[in-house]
Amino acid sequence: MYQKSVLDNGIRVVTNEMKGRESLALGIWVAVGGRYEDDKNKGAAHFLEHILFKGTKKYACNEIKERIEGVGGSLNAFTSEEYTCYFAKIPAQHLETTFDILSDMVLAPLIAKKDVDKERTVILEEIKMYRDLPQYLVGELLDELVWPDIPLGKRLTGTPESVGAMSHKDLKSFHRQHYAAGNIVVTASGKIAHSSFVSLVRGRFSQGERNRLASFIKFQDTQQKPKVKFFRKETEQMHLALGSIGLDSSHSDRYALTLFNIILGANMSSRLFSEVREKRGLAYAISSGVKYLKDTGLFTVRAGVDNNKITEALKVILSELDKIKKNGVTKSEFTRAKDYYLGQILLELEDTLEHMFWIGEATVSLDRIRTLQDVLKEIKKIDLMDIKRVAALVLKREKLNVSLVGPLNDQQEKQIRTLLAVGS
């Protein structure tokens, strides 16, 4: 049972009471992420997320963690392209203390110079770590190809230059600009009473002023031919990412694309897993994925491939994409994909934390709550031809992008360019 209230200053409060639970998941969502930055402050949203754990006017750094973990709870946060979320899962009787800590982190962080200077070193090491991990690096390279020259295509952690130059004053300014009432959603799922929780939120957040949501650079798709990006690195395995523009989070074909993704590469019974790994042994890891954003989206295929078999693996992947565009999918594949998707949702929504993520992401992104019944209704509308149509929409050969990390030689590079009809 979802309930939503909006405070006078614009803060949205959404709860989901789950009968028979003794746990409670809380989330404070802020509508700011990597795409709201520019080259100068790239990585600010992620940097600020780190700093909010370093202490507030009321709670010291160690106290934040000890108060929640000391009662068996867990505390964490993440930053995405479009929002940042601070969350905790706790035994329900510790609601007030936990919410007081989370809200103080968001509203009254110290953002002290000494903490920023110390954490800067940590984040610079994090940037190096991701650069050293080919499975992450290949994804960053793909983002640069798909969304060139805008913040959306640049790494969430920022660059050594942007993070190195960011001061505590810069982060305080970023916090003042974005961590205001109109940008905040507060969610709770589990053993919770909506009216009392709204009173709790109002008691902490009533002073915040409503603000206008910040804008970001919208993506304009001008791609007219395939693109590639290679990063030569001595690795034991070649890491491949193939991607194209997908659909935005409000698109009417979103669920059709989700089912298409499941059929193609989202699990072990998918076409890519069966053809690339099981039948041919070309890869250990092979999967596809989708990402939905406010004005754009991303469809990807990712694989870890034997260094000597990269060309063959890519050829097979492209062949499978062509087959599904030309012939569509079978009725049994379609039925399995629907059952898999709905089954996964049911399993996730049994958990208080996953259910909190479900309602929070929908509210901060779309300002609406999706119910399971809403999803069932949308899934029932989809037929086999919708899957074929969506496949043709997102798999246009001229819109494909391929990034690759590994010990690529000149011959392999030439073969890959030829496969994609990309000039040197």
Please count the other Cβ atoms lying within 10 Å of the Cβ belonging to residue 5: 17
In a 10 Å sphere around its CB, with 0-12 CB exposed, 13-18 middle and 19+ buried, how is residue 330 labelled?
A: exposed
Which of 17, 22, 49, 209 is catalytic? The answer is 49
Q: Looking at this protein, which amino acid is placed at residue 293?
A: L
d(CA 8, CA 324): 50
Give one DSSP letter per residue of 318-373, joined into a string: HHHHHHHHHH---HHHHHHHHHHHHHHHHHHHTSHHHHHHHHHHHHHHHSS---HH
Q: For the domain covering 227-420, report its CATH number.
A: 3.30.830.10
Listed residue (248, 335, 249, 263) closest to 301, CA to CA:
263
Under 8 Å between Cβ of 190 and 25: yes
Question: Measuring CA to CA, how many Å separate 412 from each of 45, 282, 288, 306?
Answer: 39, 15, 23, 13
Helix axes 254-265, 331-349, angle to 10 degrees: 100
- Domain 2-205 shares a fold with domain 227-420: yes
Phi-psi region of 317 (alpha: psi -120 to 50; beta: other; left: phi over 0): alpha
Q: Is 119 a catalytic residue?
A: no
d(CA 128, CA 315): 32
Q: Where are the domains of the chain?
A: 2-205, 227-420
Q: For the beta carbon of residue 407, count every other beta carbon within 10 angstroms.
A: 15
Q: Output the pLDDT for position 207.
A: 76
**What integer pLDDT is reported at residue 18 of this predicted model?**
97
For residue 352, which of 1, 29, 18 has the smallest C-alpha distance?
Answer: 18
Query: Rounded to whole angstroms, how far apart are CA atoms 84 and 330?
Result: 39
* Neighbouring residues of 27: CB distance < 8 A, sequence distance ≥ 6: 85, 86, 87, 185, 186, 187, 188, 356, 357, 360
HSE value, Cβ hemisphere, 13 Å, CA-based, for 164 = 6
Q: What is the full per-residue pLDDT of the chain (424 aa) written as tens digits?
A: 899 999 999 999 999 999 999 999 999 999 999 999 999 999 999 999 999 999 999 999 999 999 999 999 999 999 999 999 999 999 999 999 999 999 999 999 999 999 999 999 999 999 999 999 999 999 999 999 999 999 999 999 999 999 999 999 999 999 999 999 999 999 999 999 999 999 999 999 987 667 667 789 999 999 999 999 999 999 999 999 999 999 999 999 999 999 999 999 999 999 999 999 999 999 999 999 999 999 999 999 999 999 999 999 999 999 999 999 999 999 999 999 999 999 999 999 999 999 999 999 999 999 999 899 999 999 999 999 999 999 999 999 999 999 999 999 999 999 999 999 886 5
Largest CA distance in the chain: 66
The answer as to CATH 3.30.830.10 being correct for domain 2-205 is yes
Query: Given this model, what pLDDT does residue 196 score?
Result: 97
